[in-house]
Amino acid sequence: MKSTSLLLRKISLVEYLLGIQDEKVFGKIESNIHKSLKAVKPVDIVFTKQDIIERAEFSDKQIKKATY
């Protein structure tokens, strides 16, 4: 990830999404996300070696949290 701030924003967004109870609101958000992702070309997504290491470490921590 580019920064801790970005990671915190992502976690905050996930927590917000988990709290949504209205199916219509969630559907609209989901639709917008899918539309946005379709607009991003794979060449626009660039990860540095450090980004990949940080993503792997974060994933490893999440997996360990979920299994204990």
Quick: pLDDT tens for 4-50: 788 899 999 999 999 999 999 999 999 999 998 888 777 767 888 89
Distance of CA 52 to the CA centre of its chain: 14
pLDDT, residue 1, reads: 43
Mean pLDDT of all residues in 47-65: 89
- Residue 2's pLDDT band, with cuts at 50, 70 and 90, is low
Question: Three-state SS for 22?
Answer: coil
The tally of domains found in the chain comes to 1
* pTM for the predicted model, two decimal places: 0.51
Q: What is the pLDDT of residue 21?
A: 95
Domain membership of residue 42 as a residue range: 4-67
pLDDT at 58 over 60: yes
